Structure 1
């Protein structure tokens, strides 16, 4: 969902304006006569009451995961509802295109809300614009009618899509964030993945000695470097610190573990460990430089293998490693990883065919579609057992191994989804930190001030972990 066809987006001021328009306009969108919502008879073959012959409109974010899996779900839907006409459209700027349709009361029936400038899900939920997905979760799955859809989902997926006690969206991909490297490059030079940050800095010197930049990063989008920083902070400070940040607690961003993590990332820049010019690179430019062997490490989520599959050299053998421990005395084990579900699918409350939207998601979250997603997108789906028996690509296999090593020690932050205006300040401050225009204390002060402003703003709906 970064600011491009990838999974993590850098939300800009235009997104904030769009979210404000959603909040101000969507509650009464459509006037006094909203479009009628179709319903049908509930049967064993039609547990969600999809009306016969009702059209269905699906709009997805066409990014690094591609459209193959969402079109696969269309095929299953059409098989079950042959009289329906299904429209499927892929977009780059979901929020820019769809925000006016939410305001006018004419949204699609299903939205994959990802990418740059995506719609603000928290704002949509607060405005009553998202369908409660409880009926979908309780419906029999396509794989086994005796198993409800909710029981097919990996732990945390339902929680990730829950706002104020109601499930408003479901994420499709399970993303793990870490440091990516080439096994073949490391084997040629006899390098090992570092266990602590001091080990990392020592390895960076060895890598520079071989004429290779130790790191590159997607400089136009500082959120990419925020991921290892907040991983370091979580490992050092523990889950309690993660929750304190998400809960907007006073001085959470000035916690000693957060400052130490910011200092660790700052030392990469101060030590000259980044590929020259990384600050100005887009995601594709940085990732292509890494794939070409110009840099040894790049921070990214587990979508990178799918995004790079057309340009990755033969024998590159990419792999993901967990971010090293900040120190040997960290609160979380060295193998702990940042992970969460992503790629948010929702059914607008004012859709013409919301029952069809729920049925489409029932098809999407089937084992058949999920297995195809793992193969085509080279990413982890959130459906249990979907990768069983598959010959996984090297990067995806390393992600699966990292999750197995982490066990229960998987953590994730929610402030980006809950408070996008805070996320903008976090990323802007992180760009300043990496450019040397702010030190760790200044970085923390700026973000804490932004967090305090959100906490004090009664117009912003608050959430708590």
Structure 2
């Protein structure tokens, strides 16, 4: 079953228009990062419909005399795609315009005071561990309505609306309490990533069952290699995702849907407890507590040195480590092994979704320019250039045709081929209830380090979820699938 925000490879290829890749037959998908949720009833900048008489080359009435400020999260994708591509497209469309570019990994730290002071940037790439709470921003009226963007004529074909040029998952995930406020720009795969060349050299087989997974752990341990690790600093949410997707593998996507919907005792469900238990067991037997003191980059370097086999991350990792990746390392994706022998989702199920959030500030100095900037990003030139610079795919149909793609992307495409309709749904409470998600990223380190039991972890998370549910100041959101 396919869920909003998740897509089959066949659907994605058809919608993105990737009929052939230079990378070879069967080549496919990839990319992404993370974002933020709470607050009162969201409001947005008034949605102004685009008049039929509007200039398709400037549907929002951009004033080229107004400067535009863009802030980019400089993480796995760096910021060159914005500085050297998207901002240049904006300058080309509006000669003489000034674009101020800022890149940071401290999105929330740097920008919260500016939003409070009424001096936000026009465009914000809200991503990374310090991302801002989107639901709170929406509640305070800080996010511009993107409905006019989706209804605007596309850059490539003015006869088509922008909404008709992107995968439908973009439109589903744009909503914060029913309003189109967020643009997710990339396609992402989150699973276990490993070095295919190492496995080939060692003649190891990617484990399909938990028993095979642990047996491989013994082989690796004998050679001084960790079976698994995740970053305890600036990335513990990678393991929170991993546990959630393992729970969905065991009990089906309803496990995550119930967590998102704040259903009573959702965190205490048996699949959730089992998922936490098996990963704590792996950490205890085959992990290294030293990794709790490492950040994501340091952990990823360890993997490039073949000091650990499996790493729970998203497809942005390949570009993030491109400068450090040795010639004997090829990223490849591995589905979560069969845990119980009777998991509801078969082996091969993986998580696929859209991500990398962009918003326009409703109270910025140039919201019209902000909308236009996103429209240019959603052109084929803007999207193809992003793929070429980051080796990750966007949500724009047909933009990746003919692009030479790396090994990890090809591997992800093949994995999604095998998954078919068995796509693990994306947990949305990360964006809906940031306080709950942040608490989870703290608690996952505590349980993985053995300081509390899996049962206590689930009880703590349930108590926090109940607190959110009972807090009338927090806008509640729901999903049906």
Q: TM-score, normalised by structure 2?
A: 0.86
Shift of 1:147: 2.2
Matches within 5 A, 1:218-229: 218-220=231-233, 221-229=235-243
- Extract unaligned runs of 5+ from structure 1: 1-5, 28-38
Matched, 1:328 2:354: no
What is the aligned length? 437
Change (3 A) 1:387 1:404: farther
- Specify the alignment match of 1:102 in structure 2: 115
Residue of structure 1 aligned with 2:394, choices 353, 363, 381:
381
Indicate if the aligned counterparts of 1:232 and 1:325 stay in contact, CA closer than 8 A.
Answer: no
Matched position secondary structure for 2:102: strand
Indicate if the aligned counterparts of 2:226 and 2:287 stay in contact, CA closer than 8 A.
Answer: yes
Report the RMSD for the aligned CA atoms in angstroms. Answer: 2.2
Matched position secondary structure for 1:111: strand
Shift of 1:197: 2.0
Matched position secondary structure for 1:362: helix
1:121-147 deviations in whole A, cap 9, x for unaligned? 110111111111011101111122222
1:312-357 deviations in whole A, cap 9, x for unaligned? 1112111111222323322223222123222211111111211111
Shift of 1:203: 1.5
Indicate if the aligned counterparts of 2:383 and 2:396 stay in contact, CA closer than 8 A.
Answer: yes
Shift of 1:228: 1.8
Matched position secondary structure for 2:416: helix
- Specify the alignment match of 2:55 in structure 1: 43
1:129-188 deviations in whole A, cap 9, x for unaligned? 111101110111112222221122223122112011111010112221111111111011
Indicate if the aligned counterparts of 1:214 and 1:275 stay in contact, CA closer than 8 A.
Answer: no
Q: TM-score, normalised by structure 1?
A: 0.89
Shift of 1:300: 0.9
Residue of structure 1 aligned with 2:444, choices 430, 440, 443:
430
Residue of structure 1 aligned with 2:211, choices 198, 207, 213:
198
Indicate if the aligned counterparts of 2:34 and 2:357 stay in contact, CA closer than 8 A.
Answer: no
Matches within 5 A, 1:61-72: 61-71=73-83, 72=85
Matched, 1:166 2:192: no
- Specify the alignment match of 2:193 in structure 1: 180
- Specify the alignment match of 1:141 in structure 2: 154
- Extract unaligned runs of 5+ from structure 2: 1-31, 44-50
- Specify the alignment match of 1:233 in structure 2: 247
Matched position secondary structure for 1:214: strand
Matched, 1:252 2:228: no
Shift of 1:406: 2.7
Matched, 1:303 2:316: yes
1:218-258 deviations in whole A, cap 9, x for unaligned? 12232121222111101111122211000011100111111
Shift of 1:428: 1.8
Q: Which moved more, 1:417-426 or 1:149-158?
A: 149-158
1:427-458 deviations in whole A, cap 9, x for unaligned? 22211111111111111111111101110111
Matched, 1:270 2:284: yes
Change (3 A) 1:404 1:384: farther
Shift of 1:52: 4.1
Runs of at least 4 residues off by over 4 Å? none
- Specify the alignment match of 1:57 in structure 2: 69
Matched position secondary structure for 2:323: coil
Change (3 A) 1:372 1:275: farther
Matched position secondary structure for 2:63: coil
- Specify the alignment match of 1:361 in structure 2: 374
Matched position secondary structure for 1:254: coil
Q: For 1:336 and 1:145, how far apart are their aligned partners in 2?
A: 38
Indicate if the aligned counterparts of 1:245 and 1:415 stay in contact, CA closer than 8 A.
Answer: yes
Matches within 5 A, 1:329-348: 329-348=342-361
